[in-house]
Amino acid sequence: MLYVDKEAVARYLTMELSLKLSEIAFKLQSERKVEQPLRNIVKGEDGSLMGTMPIYIKEGPYQGFGLKSVVVRFQSNGSKPSHVGSVLVYDEPGVSGMAVVDAGAITEIRTAAASAYATHLLAAKDASRLAILGTGLQARAHLQAMLYVRPIKEVTLWGRSEERCREFATWCDKTLNLAISIKSSPAEAVLNSDIICTTTASRNPIISRKELPAKCHVNAIGASALGFQELNEDVYSNTALFTDSNESVLAASQSVIKAREKGILSESAIGIEIGTVSQSHANLSEQGVTIFQSVGLAVQDMVFSREVIRQLIKMS
């Protein structure tokens, strides 16, 4: 059995490669070339969750079975991964038996890469003002991903902990040589932003429609299970919604479910799956607000995991 640790995942999955893998995964999803049941969730007494995500890719270079099993602890220290688990990869050429890949590292990279891919397609080409809501690993990963796809010059940050915000700012200065401005509220942080990334585990909305700039792109990734909500349901009014999977978002996104119940979103048309989007949709944010709602898909985990296994074997 082959085991791929988090160091190897980070070493081989560059942002350039991760953007390509995101495109592949989302197209497989939208073209219905996967068997991918909805994520199964088991709740722990301490508020933690365990999720299992089986997958079969029907055709193409990443064809085969896989299973992601992960425990998510939302209150973990921001310097430690909130997602701990494994991606099991079956029938991978060149591997004897089953391969196991660190799920925390895969989740961190593929989630930020998904937002970067959506931002590449939907945000204004000259978008330079970024707001990050949250201070954990996904906040850091999203900052780096946004820097890769857009010419970011200004960064604003909001988090519940002043200490964590200061730690984030120090990391940003030392690692990226980039100064950030810490704000006292989410509304203040997103003011005048071109791109907004929500990466919190908030159980109550932190952003409403009236607080969004007239033109911006939002990557909403933190509230990926029922019981969590970053966006008020009114944010979907007069905005363009894009999803990783309409079915998965409708099952797991509390804000989207409430928006449909209130008639803000249509019963028949939730959003546009990002796997169907081409460059013809580019610069929609110049006309208003675009939102990429992502809850995470097993097809992403499997495409990324199979690729990192192949990179590891190639370089061994």
CATH number of 99's domain: 3.30.1780.10
In-domain check, residue 112: no
Q: What is the pLDDT of residue 246?
A: 96
Cα separation, 196 vs 118, in Å, equals 12
Report whether pLDDT(5) > 90.
Answer: yes
Cβ–Cβ < 8 Å for 218, 292: yes
Report whether pLDDT(45) > 90.
Answer: no
- Is residue 130 domain-shared with residue 255, that is, in the same domain? yes
Q: What is the pLDDT of residue 79?
A: 54
Report whether pLDDT(84) > 70.
Answer: yes
Report whether pLDDT(80) > 70.
Answer: no
How many structural domains comprise the chain? 2
In this prediction, what percent of the chain has a pLDDT beyond 70? 95
Using pLDDT thresholds of 50, 70 and 90, give the confidence band for residue 96: confident
Report whether pLDDT(75) > 80.
Answer: no
- Is residue 50 domain-shared with residue 129, that is, in the same domain? no
- Is residue 166 domain-shared with residue 288, that is, in the same domain? yes
- Is residue 79 domain-shared with residue 190, that is, in the same domain? no
Tens-place pLDDT, residues 166-203: 999 999 999 999 989 999 999 999 999 999 999 999 99
Report whether pLDDT(253) > 90.
Answer: yes
Kindly report the CATH number assigned to the domain that includes residue 210: 3.40.50.720
- Is residue 27 domain-shared with residue 130, that is, in the same domain? no
Pairing mode of beta strands 64-72, 49-57: antiparallel
Report whether pLDDT(282) > 90.
Answer: no
Whether pTM > 0.85 for this model: the answer is: yes
- Is residue 234 domain-shared with residue 265, that is, in the same domain? yes
- Is residue 255 domain-shared with residue 306, that is, in the same domain? no
In-domain check, residue 126: yes
Cβ–Cβ < 8 Å for 159, 135: yes
- Is residue 259 domain-shared with residue 130, that is, in the same domain? yes
Domain that holds residue 302: 2-107+298-315
Q: What angle do CA 178, 182, 185 make, to 5 degrees?
A: 145
Q: Residue 130's closest CA among 142, 118, 138? A: 142
Pairing mode of beta strands 64-72, 216-220: unpaired
- Is residue 56 domain-shared with residue 185, that is, in the same domain? no
